Every structure is written in structure tokens, then in C-alpha cells.
């Protein structure tokens, strides 16, 4: 990784240092994410890659697996920028509905977990999984 890694996803541009990317990696690892390269080709100064990913978060959001296209740029032979070019497999309406239902449930019934959706720390990811578990257990017969 170059000194700073920039990840672009939609309107969000996030610069990462080595330390902050390590924190993001810890957050992602809580969801037991897996990644498989489905396609790879060089186009001018970028590498275009298609990644198939699975995670506990995607499973809850009913978008598991998720296949996404990325453009990777390099500076001095090191990755400097990753651009999310979108997903052909995502059902964003379902994703948003599931996410919003979970957030609203947690605000009402488990307020101690509120804020998990925007907490990109390891603790935030752990709270995300706790929120999913509480939500999924709400209607189970005892």
C-alpha cells in the first residue's frame, strides 16, 4: 500500500493511512468476510478486478454473495486508490430496507447498540452482529 490509500465508493472518498486501514480491516474481519477474484485485467494504468465477497453482514442484508467491480490505481508500484465501480448482483433496495429495519428496531428495543451502523471500529462491527442477532431472535418462539 502507498503512504495513503484512497477508497472511492459512490460519493464517499475515504483516505486511509496504514493505521486507519488496519482498523478498517479489523472491522471487516468481524463479519467473517471472504473475497475471491473473479476477473482481472489491466487497462492502461489501472487494474480492473471483479471480486465475489461473502460475509455475515451481506447474508443479513440478503445480498450474499456480492460481486463488485473495482479499478485499482498504483503509484510507484504500490496500490494508491481503489474505486468501487459498482455491483451487478446487488439488490440495493432490499439492502436499504433490511438495513433501515434493523436500525429502527435497535433504536426502539436495544438503544445501547444504537450507532453501530456508522461505527467503523472493531467494536462497531461487533455491535452490528449483536444487533443482527437481537433482531433475528425477536420473533422466535421460546
Residue 15 lies in a domain: yes
pTM summary value: 0.87
Residue 108 lies in a domain: yes
Residue 32 confidence class, pLDDT cut points 50, 70, 90: very high
Residue 94 lies in a domain: yes
Average pLDDT over residues 75-89: 93
Residue 142 lies in a domain: no
Contact 94, 61 (CB under 8 A): yes
Coil, helix or strand for 31? coil
Residue 8 confidence class, pLDDT cut points 50, 70, 90: very high
- 110 pLDDT exceeds 80? yes
Per cent of the chain over pLDDT 90 is: 85
Structural domain of 54: 5-137
Residue 85 lies in a domain: yes
Residue 61 sits in a domain of what CATH number? 3.10.450.50
Q: From CA 41, how far away is CA 49, in angstroms rounded? A: 7
Residue 95 lies in a domain: yes
Output DSSP code: residue 81. Answer: E
What is the count of structural domains for the chain? 1
Residue 54 lies in a domain: yes
- pLDDT score for 77: 86
- pLDDT score for 142: 44
- pLDDT score for 2: 62
Residue 21 lies in a domain: yes
Amino acid at each position: 500500500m502507498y503512504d495513503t490509500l484512497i477508497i472511492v465508493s459512490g460519493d464517499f472518498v475515504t483516505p486511509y493511512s496504514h493505521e486507519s486501514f488496519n482498523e478498517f480491516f479489523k472491522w471487516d474481519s468481524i463479519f467473517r468476510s471472504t473475497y475471491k477474484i473473479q476477473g482481472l485485467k489491466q487497462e492502461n494504468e489501472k487494474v480492473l478486478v471483479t471480486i465475489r465477497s461473502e460475509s455475515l453482514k451481506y447474508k443479513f442484508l440478503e445480498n450474499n454473495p456480492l460481486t463488485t467491480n473495482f479499478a485499482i490505481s498504483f503509484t510507484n508500484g504500490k496500490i494508491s486508490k481503489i474505486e468501487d465501480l459498482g455491483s451487478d448482483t446487488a439488490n440495493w433496495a432490499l439492502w436499504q430496507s433490511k438495513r433501515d429495519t434493523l436500525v429502527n428496531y435497535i433504536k426502539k428495543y436495544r438503544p445501547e447498540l444504537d450507532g453501530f451502523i456508522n461505527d467503523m471500529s472493531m467494536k462497531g462491527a461487533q455491535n452490528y452482529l449483536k444487533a443482527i442477532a437481537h433482531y433475528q431472535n425477536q420473533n422466535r418462539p421460546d
